Amino acid sequence: MHDSDVRPPSPVFPSAPDAPLPHTGYVLLWFPLASETFIFHEVRRLAEMGLPVRVYTMYASRLVGCSNAMRATTLPIRHFGVRAAGRACKAFLRALLSRPRLTLRIARDVLCHRLRTWETRLEAFVCFLYGFLLAEEARRDGVELLHAAWGNGPATAAWVASRLTGIPFSFTGRANDIYPQDGILPLKARDALFIRTNNKANGAYLRGFCPPDQQDKVHAVYNGLTLGRRPPSLAPFLPEYQLLSIGRFVPKKGFDYLLTALARLRREQIPVRLTLVGDGRLRRSLKRRCRRLGIADMVDMPGFLPHDRVEALMRSHDIFLMPSVQTANGDRDGIPNVIMEALSCRMPVIATDVCGIGEVIRDGETGLLVPQRDPRALADGVRRLLADRDAALRMAAQGRDLVLHMFDSEANTRQLLCLYRDSCARAREESAPHA
């Protein structure tokens, strides 16, 4: 994947620097959400840089596991959730009575597509229905751009609201929100003012859903760093060596291959211990696998930890591992944010070559990049780094320099501001003759 595969986001329209920043509605399922720290910081930084922003969530408030900063946020947030179901139904009926053909066409477009699981079908229905309420709320609030932070349900709600109101909408395509696509993605890509992706590997894929004359609407803007502001303090690299991995316990994280690699290291009498942080539907399965492999005494599983406890954990461990895989249905990571967080703490990283991970982990330069589903390669990588601490820390230092530049919070937030401002300025210019 080359840099030219996704066009740079800034400047989009050189004539628009003096254009006002659009009043932007960020659309999500939850906000803030403990596992989406990068989105929380993105919205907060945009607001601090002057973007008039309001958050709309399709679901109710959920602060479990949130950091202190998330709990204390003063960002304007409007939660819908179950309590708003009646209002959403009334908004749908008002639209059906006033614009029946358009409303039925939207319902057909959303509800008649085949979706991959019952969960995605339920999410699509909820976001379709709440899109009618979002349309009324956004119009009342004077929103000029609806931006969905994910390409699945949130983008569906923003798309419905945009079709009803004419307010431009856009979305960010990241990982499992677009892999595999939900059946409605081509319609959302067709009608979006622009599409942002947070890694370059997604560029060609997302452009494949855009009409031929709209190939330039996909823009890559990396996330901002959420850790690494303090100078790194390094773990000692002494037996028993401390390995760390963090993520949701779902198939695409590949943790079962990591446990197999750990069993291999035990057979080779390499003194290591793994801290596996996270939670999810595979938790019991992973615990059973530890017992079957005879490594239960080598694995700590503390569960999900708030983001403000992650940095100390990274500074006390020797090596970070991210064994991501692409699943049979196409689900995969984009670039897991924990990789950038580990590198920002100058932690040596071993990761698999999946989707955009290779944009950050350059094999032998900023870390070790190994094939997916290969426990032997993971174990070999651990042995290699433990055998040459100087080389491991040199790669980690180069990785830290790379992510501090690529994921610079201020620079990337300014790119987003330019993208929002310039895209909306162009939309206003194009709509003025028709108006």
Answer whether 1's CB lies under 8 Å from 123's CB. Answer: no
Identify residue 347 by its one-letter amino acid code: M
Identify residue 264 by its one-letter amino acid code: R
How buried is 125 (Cβ within 10 angstroms: 0-12 exposed, 13-18 middle, 19+ buried)? middle
pLDDT in tens, 231-254: 666 777 889 999 999 999 999 999
Q: Which of the four CATH numbers 3.30.530.20, 3.40.50.2300, 3.40.50.2000, 3.30.565.10 does domain 241-406 have?
A: 3.40.50.2000
**pLDDT recorded at residue 307:** 83
Q: What DSSP designation does 78 have?
A: E
**pLDDT recorded at residue 434:** 55
- Angle, nearest 10°, between helix axes 337-344 and 389-406? 120
- Six token digits for residue 147: 């931006």
pLDDT in tens, 339-367: 999 999 999 999 999 999 999 999 999 99
On average, the pLDDT of the chain sits at 92
Answer yes or no: CATH 3.40.800.20 is held by domain 3-224+408-431: no
- Domain borders along the chain are 3-224+408-431, 241-406
pLDDT in tens, 170-192: 999 999 899 988 889 999 999 99
Answer whether 154's CB lies under 8 Å from 31's CB. Answer: no
Query: What is the sign of the dihedral through the CA atoms of 189, 194, 195 and 201?
Result: positive
The reply to whether 241-406 shares the fold of 3-224+408-431 is yes
Answer whether 220's CB lies under 8 Å from 197's CB. Answer: yes
**pLDDT recorded at residue 258:** 98
What mean pLDDT comes out for the span 311-321? 93
Identify residue 343 by its one-letter amino acid code: L
Of the ranges 6-15, 98-107, 308-317, which is most confident?
A: 98-107
- Angle, nearest 10°, between helix axes 118-141 and 85-98? 70
**pLDDT recorded at residue 116:** 63
Answer whether 364's CB lies under 8 Å from 399's CB. Answer: no
Spatial distance between the Cα atoms of 384 and 387, rounded to a whole number of angstroms: 5
285-289 contacts, C-beta under 8 A, 24 or more apart: 285/256, 286/249, 286/255, 286/256, 286/259, 289/256, 289/259
Spatial distance between the Cα atoms of 398 and 50, rounded to a whole number of angstroms: 33
